[in-house]
Amino acid sequence: MSRANGTLKLEIRKVVKNFGGLQALKGVSLTIEGSQLVGLIGPNGAGKTTLTNIISGLLRPTSGQIWFNGERIDTLRPYHIARKGIGRTFQVTRAFRRMTVLENMLAPGIVKHPYMSRRELEKKALEIMEFLTIDHLRYERAGNLSGGQQKLLELARLLMLDPQLIILDEPFAGVHPKLQRTIYDYIKRVREQGKAIILISHDMESIFTLSERLVVLNFGEIIADGPPEEVKNDPAVIEAYLGRDEEEEHDLRRAY
The verdict on 98 binding other proteins (CB under 8 A) reads yes
Residue selected from 11, 135, 221, 245 as contacting other proteins according to rule CB under 8 A: 135
Q: Which is nearer to other proteins, 110 or 255 (CB)?
A: 110
User: Which amino acid is present at 103?
Assistant: E
The pattern of x and - marking residues 179 through 198 that bind other proteins according to CB under 8 A reads --------------------
- Strands (E) across 69-176 are located at 71-72, 86-88, 165-169
Residue selected from 157, 195, 202, 232 as contacting other proteins according to rule CB under 8 A: 157
The verdict on 71 binding other proteins (CB under 8 A) reads no
Euclidean distance between CA atoms 110 and 125, whole angstroms: 11
Euclidean distance between CA atoms 53 and 62, whole angstroms: 13
The verdict on 158 binding other proteins (CB under 8 A) reads yes
Computed on alpha carbons and rounded to an integer, the radius of gyration of the chain in Å comes to 18
* Cβ 215 vs Cβ 14: under 8 Å: no
Residue selected from 4, 139, 178, 246 as contacting other proteins according to rule CB under 8 A: 139
Alpha carbon distances (Å) from 158 to 60, 164, 254: 22, 11, 32
The verdict on 88 binding other proteins (CB under 8 A) reads yes
The verdict on 221 binding other proteins (CB under 8 A) reads no
Phi/psi for 133 (5° steps) reads 55, 35
Per CB under 8 A, the segment of 8-16, 61-69, 135-143, 228-236 that binds other proteins is 135-143
Burial bucket for residue 198 (CB in 10 Å: 0-12, 13-18, 19+): buried
Least Cβ distance, residue 254 to other proteins (angstroms):
33
Q: Which residues make up the interface to other proteins (CB under 8 A)?
A: 56-58, 77-79, 82-83, 87-88, 90, 94-100, 103, 106-108, 110-112, 119, 122-123, 126-127, 130, 135-136, 138-141, 143-144, 157-158, 160-161
